[in-house]
Amino acid sequence: MSTRLRALVLSVALALSVALMGNAAHAAPERPSVPLKGGATQSFTMTLTRKADTPKGVNAPADTIYCGGYLSIPYVNTLYNDVRTEIEVQCTAVVDSIDLYLNLYKDGSTTTTTKRYNPANYGIHYSSAPCQGTTNTYFAGGTAVFTKAGYAGSPLVMNGTTPQVTLAC
């Protein structure tokens, strides 16, 4: 799949992700989207910062919340005889919601999955395709949306794709 087609597919997936989020999608983020890097050894880290006019109570969360995680490169999971990719995220404090959108692409077709954690400071989600005894080309696209009321940068949207890999199973 060409880089241009991958970018188009990811743009459509991101637009669908934002549309699925409902009311949170109507608020313009105060910070642009940042990349979600592919590969288990690469990660992203961004922050949500308490707004000056947000009251601080006895059980108030931290002034700054750091969120990070990764999108795995598709791999053969021999335990379940499938090809799988995961998105895993974590924040240093509880946020109102974490929405994960994950696409696994196999030779141009896609499996799309979503998961919401509400409230949460951790989330993991996977998407898979059954092994068919052939060699195929795979890549993954994912989006993580962190929402925390009263914090600048919320909702924080991160998205990206993995490199293409050829897998036989």
**Residues 56 and 66: beta-carbon distance below 8 Å:** no
pLDDT per position as a tens digit, 131-163: 989 999 999 999 999 999 888 888 888 888 888
pLDDT per position as a tens digit, 8-49: 333 333 333 333 333 333 232 333 334 454 444 334 455 677
Residue 118: CB partners within 8 Å, gap ≥ 6?
96, 97, 98
The alpha carbon dihedral of 69, 28, 20, 164 has a sign of negative
